[in-house]
Amino acid sequence: MEAAAEKRLRLLNADYREVAGREPQTFYCPILYRDEEVELCRAHIVNESFPESDRKWTIQRADVDSWFGSMFEADFVKLKYREKLKVLDVLADPELTRQLRPKFTLDGEEVEHYAVTGPVPDRFSPVLVDHESEPIELVLKVPPEELLKGERKQWDVAFEQDLRLPALVSLLKSAHLTLFQLVGYRYALSAGGRFLGRKVLGDFFDRTVELSRSDALLEARNHFKEFRNLVRPIVPPTTDLAGTVTDGLFHLCRYSGGLAKAVFVRTGEHLHTVLVPVLDNGETAARFMAFLDQSSVTFEARPARYMGDHWEVSPTSWEFEWPRANFERTWHRP
């Protein structure tokens, strides 16, 4: 590893030694909760593909970081395109077309298409789409005579993405690493840290890392459904919050059964809140999850910051409603 990473690793190992009271072997992973001889890497708290995202990073196992990155974050970063692109801009860019997969429909039925790269088979239809830079040459997999039928003429082209699952998993991981960055192993080895790190993220990795992508994603839908109420977008996103990893600000939230930290994760122009429970044991975790599953949830919140060796909590508080809903909605661009 480079010098900066070696220095960060030494600091983390010293922190682990102080908190856990024992010597680390290589690096005690705050997601798998194991210390093994494996490749380590610099892991960004917020995916660096988001423009103007915080560039802070920590040490992580390379296998864990790359697996979550390819399985979930590669799709989650598409959020940066929402409300930014027109469908013709996507069609004009081969890389955006690959990522966002725009669809043509004829009278509501999808018609496959591809960019012109050579002679067009007689059974397909070449089309020229106007674009401000230059015309876009495409091939629709539909016979030319089908396009000429007068009774079928309702065309549409759009791209849509369901980012609920990749957003949920990526934001849970970012919130966990945010608190690990700020508080170190005092957070990671706490009951709340083990809940989010081990139970939510680590257990899932161990069960699915050897599965195919399709099987792992199917398992993910079942596993993370239980934790869907931990994450919410802030709409509209406020500019007053830079993100907890940047300014150290979070909200300490009191509810009928205990406390939770509201961690803010900023991904470019979008802002999200992740609730991380402050737990004593597994029973309080179960009560917290049951509480979030209620139809109406109210928290009393106070702004707070971690100051390196202590928490500073504002005396000012207010109440807010935490909506019970499925992940962030599917987004669609016509």
DSSP state of 203: H
Question: Over the stretch 240-274, which tens digit does the pLDDT of each residue have?
Answer: 889 999 999 999 999 887 899 999 999 988 899 99
Q: Does residue 284 surpass a pLDDT of 80?
A: yes
CA gap 47, 49 in Å, rounded: 5
Segment 54-73 mean pLDDT? 96
Q: How high is the pLDDT of residue 102?
A: 77
Q: Which residue spans within the chain are E strands per DSSP? A: 40-44, 57-61, 103-106, 109-111, 113-115, 125-129, 136-140, 155-161, 231-233, 249-255, 258-267, 270-278, 297-306, 311-313, 318-322, 331-333
Q: Does residue 299 surpass a pLDDT of 70?
A: yes
Higher pLDDT, 285 or 147: 285
Q: How high is the pLDDT of residue 152?
A: 55
Higher pLDDT, 221 or 110: 221
Question: Over the stretch 309-321, which tens digit does the pLDDT of each residue have?
Answer: 788 999 999 998 8
Q: How high is the pLDDT of residue 333?
A: 41
Q: How confident is the model at residue 294 (pLDDT cuts 50, 70, 90)?
A: confident
Minimal CA–CA distance to 177: which of 308, 310, 68?
Answer: 68
Which residue in this structure is represented by tokens 């692109």?
A: 85
Neighbours of 249 (CB within 10 A): 18
Higher pLDDT, 256 or 281: 256
Coil vs helix vs strand at 228: helix
Q: CA torsion, points 275, 239, 247, 47, in degrees to nearest 10?
A: 70
Query: What is the strand order of the sheet 109-111 is part of?
Result: 109-111, 103-106, 155-161, 331-333
Mean pLDDT for all residues in the chain: 86
Of the given ranges (8-22, 76-90, 229-243), which has the lowest mean pLDDT?
A: 76-90
Coil vs helix vs strand at 211: coil
Q: How confident is the model at residue 150 (pLDDT cuts 50, 70, 90)?
A: low
Q: Which residue spans within 268-310 are E strands per DSSP? A: 270-278, 297-306
Segment 73-84 mean pLDDT? 74
Q: How much of the chain, in percent, has pLDDT values that exceed 70?
A: 89
Name 160's Cβ contacts closer than 8 Å, sequence gap at least 6: 103, 330, 331, 332, 333
Q: How high is the pLDDT of residue 122?
A: 82
| Sign of the CA dihedral with 178 first, then 180, 182, and 183 last | positive
Q: How high is the pLDDT of residue 328?
A: 44
Q: How confident is the model at residue 149 (pLDDT cuts 50, 70, 90)?
A: low
Sketch the domain layout of the chain as residue ranges. Answer: 3-78+164-325, 103-158
CA gap 302, 309 in Å, rounded: 19
